[in-house]
Amino acid sequence: MLTYLIRRFMIALGTVWAISILTFVIIQLPPGDYVTSYIAQLEASGDIVTDQEAENLKRQYGLDQPVTMQYVKWVSQIMRGNFGMSMEWRRPVGDLIGERLALTVLLALAALVLTWILALPAGIYSAIRQYSPADYTITFLGLVGLAVPNFLLALVVMYMGFRYFGANVGGLFSPEYIDAPWSLARCWDLMKHLWLPALILGAAGTGHLLRIMRANLLDEIRKPYVVAARARGLQEHRVVLKYPVRLALNPFISTIGYTLPVLVSGSIIISIVLSLPTVGPLLLKALLAQDMFLAGTIILLIGVLTVIGTFISDLMLMWVDPRIRMES
Amino acid sequence: MADASQTSAPDADARIDVSPARLMWRRFRKHRVAMGSMVLLFGFAIIAIGAEFFATTDPHLPEAHRSLMPPQSIRLFDGSTFRPHVLAVRGHRDPQTLQRVYEVDPDRRIPVRLFGHGYEYRLLGLIRTDRHLIGVTREHKGEPAIFLLGTDVQGRDLWSRLMLATRVSMSIGLVGVALSLLIGIVLGGFAGYLGGWVDMTVQRMIEILRSIPTIPLWMGLAAAMPRDWSILRVYLAITIILSLIGWTELARVVRGRFLVLREEDFVKAARLIGARRKRIIFRHMLPSFYSHIIAATTVAIPTMIISETALSFLGLGLRPPAVSWGVLLQQAQNVQSVALSPWLMIPAIPVIIAVMAFNFVGDGLRDAADPYGQ
Amino acid sequence: MPPTPMASDVCTPLLSVRRLKTVFPLDEGTVIAVKDVSFDLHAGRTLALVGESGCGKSVTARSILRLLDRPGRIEAGQVLLRRPSTEQAGPETIDLAKLDDDGPRIREVRGGEIGLIFQEPMASLSPVHTIGNQLTEAIRLHRDVSKCEARSMAIGLLREVGIPQPQQRIDFYGFELSGGLRQRAMIAIALACRPRLLIADEPTTALDVTTQAQILQLLRQLQAQHEMAILLITHDLGVVAQTADDVAVMYLGEIVECADVDTIFHDPRHPYTRALLKSMPAMHATNRGRLETIAGSVPHPFQRPSGCPFHPRCPQVITGQCDCQAPRLRAIGESHQVSCLLEEAGS
């Protein structure tokens, strides 16, 4: 159990490290160093940057040192919570993304929960009524969810909302709450807006989990221990719920590990289509404007949060599956 | 139980001298949906190859005076005589809203015919011709007339652009998957066959890559491409970016099969009678799992297509003048334009159809690939 | 066909299977897994159902408990369970084949009156539930007791089937026990409510030989204690010789020979029974020659041979008769029945 924990933790650390390298590469990729382009941008907008200031900036990011040292400097800055400045917004990156990051996480989690609420019962029903019309319908809907890229789904929903309800379904807040401070009313408003993007975001995952659930359950339902439970005189629906569903849940939980990255990825792109105040639109703008600090930080933080989420799902898996718990 | 499972065992006598590929094909044909999807994909392939032939109007020719024209339909009958034609359309600018509005000119009919004339192109890059699947008669040649799916903001024919986009998007999917497959087979194969630290390293790499959200990474890498690259370079770069991150699933499948097969009795037997490693891999192991690889590859293609579409849609993938499904969908990015010209969303349809078809074919292949399946 | 009385027994049987026919309608055709099978089970006795894998032994057992996998179903026949008189009602006979397969009545029978154990003790125990969880579930399904009482009953049961340290083992998962202990736990679950009949589907196949002997010993001992009937399904004639009182040999879903254990081993009449016995290594064999095998293989279920199902592999086949005329199971002696044209011709 401890070895399992340590192993998962090491993998999580490795992943964070890999993400930081990739992010650093992305920040470095555009031609020219970023301090130069930062200064150029500041000057273009009428600011005067003294040579001393420029020199300080360069030293701060270790531009006079080899790439590996620059990487170390960059990482240690981030560890201290200094994510650098956004060139486009002229504000510290940390300030810009705080709330947006929280909303991104919220959206991904809402989609995850919705995915479960939909996929679990539908998958179970589909499996125990295999080859029934309901099974075919559910399977087909799942496939549609899987096949329609979520940004297209978002597009269609936007169009429908606009066309038939005359409403803009984008955004996460009603206009009066967009800049309002947090309050109960604002939270409620958020909830009212959150379900639709979460549903769009969760469609593909629902289709995927549905198929997994159905296949797992069909596998499990034929196993001797299920027949044994039935032979004990247990009612059919209790047999199914207590044994195979319980077991089919394990791969379900273990899929969180890779559903989460997919959800976060998806949240970026549908946020852009639905103009949700998450990090998605900010990332796109930053990338198009080559505002690499902002973009890099977003990519890094999203990656790290995903890794944390995956790690938590690993812990959950350990908790529900005694076979992993007993592994020494 | 034993009895029930036996019933699915194939009739041994009738199957003795059939190759695995034939067997797989036989089982695949039973899946009607998968077969139908296969036919559909063939259609896509034909369109991709002969895109210009299926186009009706020069897909790159902008015309400001026919911007955002709604789709036209071909009328088969003129009165009661069979004379396929389209009604000509007159456009003018609304003096109040300053938008272009179009109205049908019922008196002018432009006859259309199969294999009619249109703009000049080289079929398959070789044969110079001006014949198209649907074209006008010679006297109407040069008069851009048929806009089956309407036009985009710049007044280019959406149908013709869609034909070209099919070629680009499908080929990105295929080339990207081919690259992923190459990486996947090499890394997954080594990991599965050699085991030990090689396996450990590859597995950790896969795990790490799988737990990173791909879209932000893709976006970051794609945005880092210099703006002045040529279409071809961007195309190649995008393909490489997609496959660099997309190989993990294929590697996992290959590795898994290798691991299973390594322990199979027939491989052990081959090793025991002293077969060389190369012979074991190519004569004994590969034939018994290439079907699984084919299935996994088929399922990987739609992911590539969706990724390319998504990147291009965001303006980070292929850029105009390149044409792909994603590039076409860029114009459908905001609600206002979609609400006014809903036909701009049409390029989403082939994306969805292609993705579903590849999934169905992949599923069918996967079922058919299992030699002991029903 | 006459019912099959086991002449040695005068009292009414606990369970009578009459002309049971179980089919699996599949896309490719209908498979007849069990055809016209009849037998009786008596309290305190063990009937062994013997045959190669795929001959319909397990399907027969599952038909009795109505636990067939889809699309299998009982097409004809009766499964008559006799109940002794209770406080509420007098003695009655119920036909299990007619019950709703998820109804309360069959569920009362499952576990309550008929217990079932399987070949693979590992697979028959849930990997995510403790032994105790499954055992108390079995108890509380049929007995109105509290959780606490059920637990102490469960510990008692584990002790009874010979599991050491039952207080601790009750909280173990199946995969934490050795194969023998797992099967003992499985037996404890099956016997939790003192069923009058135990169906043991290849209970020792997955175990090693010493454990096998222990489990068989345990079954015999429990049978003696509780006057239980056992339906033992096996392909292992050694197990049959050790445990069974009566033997029914099955081939392709039909019973081809049925007799008490001594008769089967010393005076087998059906060519298939003889072939089975010859393919078994004998303890005191003098010549160390090759064991005999049965020519050919079990035909594919879709291609059931006409006439006698065994005729394509039978060394004594009468061409022109065996392949067109189906033999019937008929008594040839006291408690000895055979289904073979050779015997019909002889008598």
Instruction: List chain C domain ranges.
Output: 10-113+196-281, 123-194
Which structural domain range is residue A155 located in? 103-292
Residue C37 CB neighbour total at 10 angstroms: 24
B234 has a pLDDT exceeding 60: yes
Of the pLDDT bands very low, low, confident and very high (cuts 50, 70, 90), residue C345 is low
Of the pLDDT bands very low, low, confident and very high (cuts 50, 70, 90), residue B6 is very low
* B329 near A CB under 8 A: yes
Residues of C in contact with A130 (CB under 8 A): 70
For domain B161-369, give its CATH number from 1.10.287.130, 1.10.287.610, 1.10.3720.10, 3.40.50.1000. Answer: 1.10.3720.10
**The pLDDT value given to residue C47:** 93
Cα–Cα dist B30/B91, whole Å: 52
Chains sharing 3 or more CB pairs under 8 A with chain A: B, C
CA-closest candidate to residue A150, choices B355, B244, B317, B209: B355
Angle between helices C209-226 and C179-190 in degrees, nearest 10: 20
Strand partners, C50: C234, C249
In a domain, A184, yes or no: yes
Q: Which residues of C243-261 are buried (b: 16+ CB within 10 A; e: fewer)?
A: bbbbbbbbbbbbbbbbbbb
B323 close to B58: Cβ distance less than 8 angstroms: no
B vs C, Cβ pairs < 8 A, gives 38
**DSSP states along A277-317:** SSHHHHHHHHHHTT-HHHHHHHHHHHHHHHHHHHHHHHHHH
Amino acid at B263: E
Check which CATH number belongs to the domain holding A150 and give it.
1.10.3720.10
Which residue in chain C has the smallest CA separation from B7?
A: C301
Q: ipTM more than 0.85?
A: no
Which residue in chain B has the smallest CA separation from C31?
A: B7
Question: What tokens appear for B344 in the block?
Answer: 């701009």
C119 has a pLDDT exceeding 50: yes
CA-closest candidate to residue A207, choices B293, B352, B27, B246: B352
- How many structural domains does chain A have? 1
* pLDDT < 70 regions, chain A: 1, 30-35, 37-38, 41-42, 44-46, 60-64, 87-88, 166-170, 251, 258, 323-328
In a domain, A254, yes or no: yes
Residues of C in contact with A320 (CB under 8 A): 128
To probe the interface with C, which of B1, B3, B5 has the most C CB atoms within 10 Å? B3
Mean of pLDDT values over C275-298: 72
**Which superfamily, per CATH, for C10-113+196-281?**
P-loop containing nucleotide triphosphate hydrolases (3.40.50.300)
C173 vs A231, A233, A322: nearest CB: A322
Residues of C in contact with B3 (CB under 8 A): 24, 31, 33, 54-56, 58-59, 253, 301
In a domain, A267, yes or no: yes
Classify C83 as helix, strand or coil: strand
Residues of A in contact with B360 (CB under 8 A): 143
Cα–Cα dist B168/B172, whole Å: 6
Residues of C in contact with A233 (CB under 8 A): 107-112, 138, 141-142
CA-closest candidate to residue B253, choices B287, B208, B206: B206
CA-closest candidate to residue B238, choices B340, B308, B303, B188: B308
Cα–Cα dist A37/A31, whole Å: 9
Q: Which residue has 């990656």 as its token pair? A: A303
Q: Looking at the whole model, is its pTM more than 0.90?
A: no
pLDDT above 90: percentage of residues in chain C:
11
B57 close to B147: Cβ distance less than 8 angstroms: yes
CA-closest candidate to residue C302, choices C19, C23, C2: C23
C33 vs B3, B8, B9: nearest CB: B3
User: How many residues are recorded in chain B?
Assistant: 374
Of the pLDDT bands very low, low, confident and very high (cuts 50, 70, 90), residue B144 is low
To probe the interface with B, which of A28, A112, A155, A274 has the most B CB atoms within 10 Å? A155
Residue C307 CB neighbour total at 10 angstroms: 18
**The pLDDT value given to residue B7:** 40
Give how far Cα C322 sits from Cα of B56, C250, C271, Å.
74, 18, 12
Question: What tokens appear for B114 in the block?
Answer: 């199969």
Cα–Cα dist A261/A273, whole Å: 19
Q: Domain limits of chain B? A: 72-146, 161-369
Give how far Cα B104 sits from Cα of B88, B90, B92, B126, C29, Å.
6, 6, 12, 38, 61
To probe the interface with A, which of C114, C125, C129, C144 has the most A CB atoms within 10 Å? C129
pLDDT above 70: percentage of residues in chain B:
89
Of the pLDDT bands very low, low, confident and very high (cuts 50, 70, 90), residue C198 is very high
List own/partner pairs for B223-228 with CB under 8 A and 24 or more apart. Answer: B223/A26, B223/A287, B223/A288, B223/A290, B223/A295, B223/B316, B224/A26, B224/A29, B224/A30, B226/A31
B143 has a pLDDT exceeding 50: yes
Q: Do B338 and A155 touch (CB under 8 A)?
A: yes
* C309 near B CB under 8 A: no
**The pLDDT value given to residue C249:** 92
How far, rounded to the nearest angstrom, does the alpha carbon of residue B276 sit from its chain's CA centroid? 40
**The pLDDT value given to residue C230:** 93
| Element housing C150 (H / E) | helix C147-160
> Positive or negative, the Cα torsion across C274, C278, C279, C282?
positive
List own/partner pairs for B243-246 with CB under 8 A and 24 or more apart. Answer: B243/B176, B243/B177, B243/B179, B243/B180, B243/B183, B243/B304, B244/B183, B245/B209, B245/B214, B245/B217, B245/B218, B246/B176, B246/B177, B246/B180, B246/B214, B246/B300, B246/B303, B246/B304, B246/B307
Q: Which of A288-302, B164-178, C219-233 has the lowest mean pLDDT?
A: A288-302
A vs B, Cβ pairs < 8 A, gives 133
B74 close to B116: Cβ distance less than 8 angstroms: no
Of the pLDDT bands very low, low, confident and very high (cuts 50, 70, 90), residue B4 is very low
Phi, psi of C173 (to 5 degrees): -90, 155
In a domain, A288, yes or no: yes
Nearest-CA distance B203 → chain A (Å): 11
B98 close to B179: Cβ distance less than 8 angstroms: no
In a domain, A268, yes or no: yes
Q: What is the 3-state secondary structure (H, E, C) of chain B?
A: CHHHHHHCCCCHHHHCCCCHHHHHHHHHHHCHHHHHHHHHHHHHHHHHHCHHHHCCCCCCCCCHHHCCCCCCCCEEEECCEEEEEEEEEEEEECCCCCCEEEEEEEEEEEEEEECCEEEEEEECCCEEEEECCEEECHHHCCCCCCCCCCECCCCCEHHHHHHHHHHHHHHHHHHHHHHHHHHHHHHHHHHHHHCHHHHHHHHHHHHHHHCCCHHHHHHHHHHCCCCCCCHHHHHHHHHHHHHHHHCHHHHHHHHHHHHHHHCCHHHHHHHHCCCCHHHHHHHHHHHHHHHHHHHHHHHHHHHHHHHHHHHHHCCCCCCCCCCCHHHHHHCCCCHHHHHHCHHHHCCHHHHHHHHHHHHHHHHHHHHHHCCCCC
**The pLDDT value given to residue C298:** 77
Classify A44 as helix, strand or coil: helix
What are the residues of chain A with a beta carbon less than 8 Å away from any beta carbon of chain C?
130, 222-225, 227-236, 242-243, 246-247, 250, 320-323, 326
**The pLDDT value given to residue A33:** 61
Phi, psi of B67 (to 5 degrees): -70, 140
Question: What tokens appear for A180 in the block?
Answer: 């309002």
Classify C248 as helix, strand or coil: strand
Supply the mean pLDDT for chain B. 77
A41 close to A292: Cβ distance less than 8 angstroms: no
Task: Work out the widest C-alpha separation in chain A, in whole angstroms.
Answer: 85
Nearest-CA distance B142 → chain A (Å): 36
- CB under 8 Å to C204, separation ≥6 — which residues? C183, C211, C212, C215, C216, C234, C236, C239
A193 close to A174: Cβ distance less than 8 angstroms: yes
C300 has a pLDDT exceeding 80: no
What are the residues of chain C with a beta carbon less than 8 Å away from any beta carbon of chain A?
62, 65, 67, 69-70, 102, 107-112, 115-116, 118-120, 123-129, 134, 137-138, 141-142, 173, 175-176, 186, 189-190, 192
**The pLDDT value given to residue C231:** 92
Residue C290: exposure state from Cβ atoms within 10 A (0-12, 13-18, ≥19): exposed
In a domain, A16, yes or no: no
B355 vs A29, A31, A147: nearest CB: A147
* B3 near C CB under 8 A: yes
Nearest-CA distance C63 → chain A (Å): 12
B122 has a pLDDT exceeding 80: no
**The pLDDT value given to residue C245:** 92
